[in-house]
A and B are shown apart, each in its own frame.
Chain A
Amino acid sequence: MDEFERSLKTHPLLEDLEPAYVQLIAACATSVGFRAGDLLIREGEREDTLYLIVRGTITIEVTRPGSAPSCVETIGAGDVLGVAQLTPATAHLDCRARETVVAIAIDNAALHRAMDDDPRFGYALATRMLARTYHRLARARLQQLDVYR
């Protein structure tokens, strides 16, 4: 098993997923790296890639006119970036590598085709992504409450 395959199989999103389904994902995935400061996703651009983070930290930033970017969340190893993009969408925030980042980049269009072709695979992956999305939504709501004020 090479490093790429190991990273894919051991990523928390795909943990215990049927090997055949992991192979479907591997078919539309590639290993990528980013240097500190690189943008993985830029606000306003089409989100065509799903990233499974293997190593490093990514800041999710929002920029207000006249002020420096403000980080609203950091994500790291084991997390997923672009998890909500089960349908074509435009990025609403910048996602920047804070340090060297290693990730598995999955082509969204190819992934969606595979999910359409095999609805069982599509359902298995969609429920995992939905669970993560819900978890992050719950945390975002708590963050929005600004409870420490």
Chain B
Amino acid sequence: MSANPYAVAPLTIARAVRELADVFTWTFDVPGGFAFRPGQFNMLYVHGVGEVPISISGDPAEPERLVHTIRAVGHVTCVMDRLVEGCVLGVRGPYGSAWPVDELKGRDVLVIAGGLGLAPLRPAILRLLAQRADYGRVTVLYGARTPADLLFRDELARWRGRFDLRVEATVDRAGHDWYGPVGVVTRLIDGVPLGHDDAVLICGPEIMMRFVARELEQRGVARDRIWISMERSMKCGVGLCGHCQLAGSFVCKDGPVYRFDRIAPFLQVKEL
């Protein structure tokens, strides 16, 4: 990050890939490197349109390639969806807290993603795989709406082909051309052995994360072994404007990744 947290760097879209009907991935070439920690996000600015927080979905071992996976859902991201390779955007960041992957060495790690939540978890998974021998069992559970909504499908298939990683995917509904499980992602937890020292990283819609955390707690996983990535309306990125305030914290600065025991009480407060 530059000394001025508001300084915007102009970066050119080097590669644009259509992931799903409404989801696309951009790669920016950054010759000088763009160091970040898995789980952090950037503010992406479309000139004259607006700025949005987007998680980094690339490989932390390849800082010269900055990768973002974006769903076209609001005004700015729908404009983004029409941009092509060669277009220039303003980028500032990285901001926020990270998945504690280095702290988890020696432990079994369970990664649970829902929908587009796989994108912010991808850098963490890639880090775990790059340093595979440093961790115990690594399991990835992924839930999506339908088979057509599975993000990074080719990469999931490659991960499934490894002998040192377990990957399970489930969808909420499917036709006869889907041979995997159908049902919510919490169901997949039943088939995963959980030890007292396992760590769990969760990212997805907030309500899904609450259900998943509850299921994990019923399986005996303590709250201080669970991390979740929160989403709120982030504007400044440095904890000043207050748009993303969640109880006594700012999601852009103190989050987006929180240890669950520190955030769980506030998830029950309906006004937050």
Q: How far is the CA of A70 from the CA of B175 in the complex (A)?
A: 5
Is A72 close to B, CB under 8 A? yes
Interface string of B111-123 (1 = CB under 8 A from A): 0001110000000
User: Chain B residue with minimal CB distance to A99?
Assistant: B179
CB neighbours of B204 from chain A (8 A): 147-148
Q: Is the CB of A142 within 8 A of B208?
A: yes
Is B187 close to A, CB under 8 A? yes
CB neighbours of A71 from chain B (8 A): 173-176, 178, 182
Q: How far is the CA of A12 from the CA of B144 in the complex (A)?
A: 27
Complex partner residue of B184 from A69, A98, A139, CB under 8 angstroms: A139
Chain A residues with a Cβ closer than 8 Å to the other chain, count: 22
Is A20 close to B, CB under 8 A? no
Given A71-B174, A71-B175, A149-B145, decide whether A143 and B183 contact each other with a Cβ distance below 8 A. yes
CB neighbours of B179 from chain A (8 A): 98
Is A74 close to B, CB under 8 A? yes
Is B93 close to A, CB under 8 A? no
CB neighbours of B181 from chain A (8 A): 57, 74, 76
Smallest CB–CB gap between A99 and chain B, Å?
9
Q: Is the CB of A72 within 8 A of B182?
A: yes
Q: Is the CB of B178 within 8 A of A146?
A: no
Q: How far is the CA of A145 from the CA of B115 in the complex (A)?
A: 13
Q: Is the CB of A142 within 8 A of B186?
A: yes
Smallest CB–CB gap between A38 and chain B, Å?
14
Is B172 close to A, CB under 8 A? yes
Smallest CB–CB gap between A83 and chain B, Å?
15
User: Chain A residue with minimal CB distance to B212?
Assistant: A142
Complex partner residue of A147 from B114, B173, B182, CB under 8 angstroms: B114
Smallest CB–CB gap between A52 and chain B, Å?
16
Extra inter-chain contacts (20) besides given A71-B175, A148-B143, CB under 8 Å: A59-B182, A70-B174, A71-B178, A71-B182, A72-B173, A73-B182, A73-B183, A74-B180, A78-B190, A139-B183, A139-B184, A142-B207, A142-B208, A143-B172, A143-B184, A146-B145, A148-B114, A148-B115, A148-B149, A149-B145
* 11 A–B pairs (Cβ distance < 8 Å), ordered by A: A59-B182, A60-B182, A71-B173, A71-B174, A72-B182, A98-B179, A143-B183, A143-B184, A146-B145, A147-B114, A148-B172
Residues of B within 8 A of A (CB): 114-116, 143-145, 149, 172-176, 178-184, 186-187, 190, 204-205, 207-208, 211
Residues of A within 8 A of B (CB): 57, 59-60, 68-74, 76, 78, 98, 138-139, 142-143, 145-149
